[in-house]
Amino acid sequence: MRGIVRGASVYLVPRQSGELVIGATQEELGADTTVTAGGLWQLLRDARALVPGVTELALGDFVAGLRPGTPDNAPVIGPARLPGLVLATGHFRSGVLLAPVTADTVADFLATGTPDPLWKAFAPDRFPVRAEEA
Ligand SMILES: Cc1cc2nc3c(=O)[nH]c(=O)nc-3n(C[C@H](O)[C@H](O)[C@H](O)COP(=O)(O)OP(=O)(O)OC[C@H]3O[C@@H](n4cnc5c(N)ncnc54)[C@H](O)[C@@H]3O)c2cc1C
């Protein structure tokens, strides 16, 4: 079940084990995966607006994951400046969905040495080099 509560999207996914997954918050916090009380409260509050009974469930696990993104919101795919290193990241909220097509083009590149023409928009060198990387 999906819904919008107070402008924020919330989803509830029943698992075969009987568990219910509730997600997900979104914050720009770098690589910090600390689960905050506020994030948990917001999710439970919004999930309860859709399904009032959720607050009677036992609390299981809670996790925070990363959605690597880029300044222009497009992925980074292609050879890095370090010879032999190929980047395929920055898919933000769609990394699972885009994994097969990304993997196919990376595998083709590794086998043939020819970059996919679609990679042009995703070139790693489209961003200025930061001082600490120079
Ligand atoms: C709650 C949540 C729900 C999501 N739902 C969806 C969805 O429904 N559909 C969808 O398409 N996408 C979804 N995503 C987004 C998707 O998970 C990401 O886009 C995808 O995981 C990004 O893949 P990545 O390989 O770029 O980075 P990551 O998956 O973050 O992988 C990076 C890896 O590098 C490792 N690493 C980091 N630093 C180092 C280091 N120094 N040395 C060695 N290893 C290191 C990490 O441990 C990690 O395994 C969701 C994300 C979250 C958090």
pTM of the predicted model, to two decimals? Answer: 0.86
State the pLDDT at residue 86: 96
Return d(Cα 40, Cα 25) in angstroms, integer.
Answer: 8
For residue 129, what is the DSSP state?
A: P
Ligand 1: centre distance to CA 47 (Å) = 24
Q: Tell me the percentage of the chain whose pLDDT exceeds 90.
A: 88
Report yes or no: 2 and 9 within 8 Å, Cβ to Cβ.
yes
Which pLDDT band, with edges at 50, 70 and 90, does 3 fall under? Answer: very high
pLDDT of 132 higher than 80:
no
Strand partners, 117: none
Domain ranges (residues) in the chain = 2-56, 76-133
pLDDT of 134 higher than 70:
no
Residue nearest atom 38 of ligand 1, based on CA coordinates: 31
Run of H or E including 13: strand 8-14
For residue 11, what is the DSSP state?
A: E
Residue 2: partners with Cβ closer than 8 Å, 6 or more residues away: 9, 10, 11
What pLDDT, in 10s, does the model give residues 26-58?
888 889 999 999 999 999 999 999 999 999 999
Mean predicted lDDT score pLDDT of the chain: 93
State the pLDDT at residue 6: 92
Return d(Cα 52, Cα 54) in angstroms, integer.
Answer: 6
pLDDT of 129 higher than 80:
no
Instruction: For residue 63, give the ligand 1 atom closest to its CA.
Output: 1
Residue list, ligand 1 pocket, CB within 6 Å: 23-24, 65-68, 89, 91-97
> 10 Å Cβ neighbour count for 24?
16
State the pLDDT at residue 28: 85
